[in-house]
Structure 1
Amino acid sequence: MAKPAVKLIQFDLDGTLIDSVPQLHLAVNAMLAELDRAPASVEAVRGWVGNGADMLVRRALLAGREADYAPAPAELARARAAFDAAYDRVADRQLIFYPGVVDVLGQLHRAGFILAMVTNKPSRFVPAILTAAGLGELFSLVLGGDSLPEKKPSPAPLLHACAHFDMDPSQCLMVGDSENDVLAAKAAGMAVVGLSYGYNYGRPIAESEPDWVMDDFSQLVDLLLA
């Protein structure tokens, strides 16, 4: 596919810019301990990430239970509150960037691209993470999973970002690591890069057929700045 005529780049966060599984693992296990549940492994938590905190909590509660088990609303509410409290304590600590992320984001910003953050992570956690990462000033718009009535894979957050900057989707690029990012971008009518190293429920991102599959974040430089 030819080099895109991009002005606005929309980025996912978890699994795209940072490996947040270590912090999420700590928060999930703190939640499970409060509920007198057995702890989860790091790899289990890695497989649960990608659809927002509510789904992460639900998947943690369903793990190892009978097929017909369904957590009661009160249990879900208690679990979510416990998760939020635990994640508040650790979300911005010892952040792990994927290779090339900090340098490439700086290059793209200096080159004049508008950068936006569109994540399914609850919005309350995102500013502290970006500040701790030293990336806060690079993003002109930040949307969390609860910023709008719908989150990815709905195209609504991506289209909202386009409208915010008065951009047509053809002027935008989505960069993410999961099928949610690819599906949202395709539904919005914009090009999408799928990163192979993130969280995609154990399936190759290529199966979702993004416009480009990249194994390294630094390949964005070749695509957009070469």
Structure 2
Amino acid sequence: MHPLLTDIRLVAFDLDGTLVDSVPDMAAAVDAALIDVELPVAGEDKVRHWVGNGARVLLERALDDALGEAPGHTLTETALEHFLEHYHCAPCARTRLYPGVRDALEGLHGSGRTLCLVTNKPEAFIAPILSALDVERFFSSFLGGDSLPWRKPDPMPLMHLCQRFDVSPRECLMVGDSRHDVAAGKAAGFRTLAVPYGYNHGEPVEQSDPDAVVESLAQLL
């Protein structure tokens, strides 16, 4: 096992950009929503830089890009509703696990550690994606961006897991791909591990100073 896992009882994972590459499906839903409100599509490359802060922020960024200015509340709500409808129809058509993820989940779960998921994605989409990729069974809990009054980078979702599973923060590890994951983990008192291949708004995740960086989650074993 990776040295960072010493004395770790609970591992909290981010989802998008850490365990799965979900941009192809999210981009398709974003573009469909933009078409619905009669705006030009964004494309997958742009969406890849916009994800990570929840569905509403994603749509705000897409609308801002299409309009050249911040969108109004009504337009944002309308586009968000369309996005959620489209994404609900196909949340895992082209979403795939990153290499090494399945091996890491199997190994960590087999070691007796509690695995949890903490994402800013709406909770309704989590189980369908995990189930479609056959990894739902590894997780004892998952929290979406709308599961609690707080979301990353706020540390409260992580503190919620500590309370639920009766573990101290020093016995927990946060694994993610972005500065929001690292910030949440540090603020909660967790150790932090980052992967460099995900969605961090074009910034190297190393700049967020995680405790460690691995090229593949298989390196945890």
Q: Do the aligned partners of residues 94 and 180 (structure 1) sit closer, same or farther apart at CA in structure 2, a change above 3 Å counting?
A: same
Partner residue of 1:145?
Answer: 145
Q: Distance in 2 between matches of 1:20 and 1:216?
A: 17
Partner residue of 2:17?
Answer: 15
Which of 62, 65, 75 is the matching residue for 1:63? 65
Partner residue of 1:119?
Answer: 119
Q: Secondary structure at the match of 1:218?
A: helix
Partner residue of 1:188?
Answer: 188
Q: Secondary structure at the match of 2:187?
A: helix
Q: Distance in 2 between matches of 1:94 and 1:149?
A: 30
Figure out how many residues of one structure are paired with residues of the other and give that number: 219
Task: Give ranges in structure 2 of 5+ residues lacking alignment.
Answer: none
Instruction: List per-residue Cα deviations over 1:59-90 (Å, max 9, x = no partner).
Output: 00000433xx3322111111110000000111
Instruction: List per-residue Cα deviations over 1:75-133 (Å, max 9, x = no partner).
Output: 11111100000001111223311101111101110111100000000001111111111
Instruction: List per-residue Cα deviations over 1:167-214 (Å, max 9, x = no partner).
Output: 100010000000000000000011010110000001100000000011
CA RMSD of aligned residues (A): 1.2
Bigger Cα displacement from structure 2, 156-165 vs 89-98: 89-98
Partner residue of 1:168?
Answer: 168
Runs of 4+ in 1 over 6 A off after TM superposition: none
Q: Secondary structure at the match of 1:5?
A: coil
Tell whether 2:41 aligns with 1:39: yes
Q: Distance in 1 between matches of 2:106 and 2:70?
A: 45
Determine what percentage of the aligned residue pairs are the same residue: 45
Task: Give the drift of 1:2.
Answer: 5.2
Q: Normalized against structure 1, the TM-score is what?
A: 0.94
Q: Distance in 2 between matches of 1:99 and 1:144?
A: 23
1:206-221 matched pairs, under 5 angstroms: 206-221=206-221
1:73-88 matched pairs, under 5 angstroms: 73-88=73-88
Instruction: List per-residue Cα deviations over 1:7-36 (Å, max 9, x = no partner).
Output: 000000000000000001100000000011
Q: Distance in 2 between matches of 1:65 and 1:95?
A: 28
Q: Distance in 1 between matches of 2:45 and 2:9?
A: 37
Q: Distance in 1 between matches of 2:77 and 2:95?
A: 28
Partner residue of 2:178?
Answer: 178
Contact 2:7 2:171 in 1 (8 A): yes
Q: Distance in 2 between matches of 1:95 and 1:61?
A: 23
Q: Secondary structure at the match of 1:59?
A: helix
Q: Distance in 2 between matches of 1:94 and 1:32?
A: 20
